[in-house]
Amino acid sequence: MLNKIKALWQNIRRLSGDDAYEQYLQHYLQHQAENAELEHELPLSRAAFFKQWQDKKWKGIKRCC
């Protein structure tokens, strides 16, 4: 029963975008860490990630007409 509740909670977080930063870090570690070591770049902080995410989502014209 507890596993089902945890799975449901994870799905809710994923659908709402609440786990976006955790997904970003996981992707960063899997795909960008090798390149970042060469360039001495660190992953974005949580605040910088959400600012960039919101800017990308809301900047520009976002209407159909």
Average pLDDT over residues 57-65: 75
Task: Tell me the average pLDDT of the chain.
Answer: 84
Per-residue pLDDT of 2-42, as tens digits, reads: 999 999 999 998 888 888 999 999 988 888 766 655 566 78
Could you give the CA distance from residue 19 to residue 12 in angstroms, rounded to a whole number? 9
C-alpha 51/C-alpha 40 separation (Å) is 22
Give CA–CA dist 56/65, Å, rounded: 20
Report how far residue 24's alpha carbon sits from residue 11's, in angstroms, rounded to the nearest whole number: 16
Give pLDDT, residue 47. 95
Looking at the chain, the whole-number percentage of residues with pLDDT higher than 70 is 85
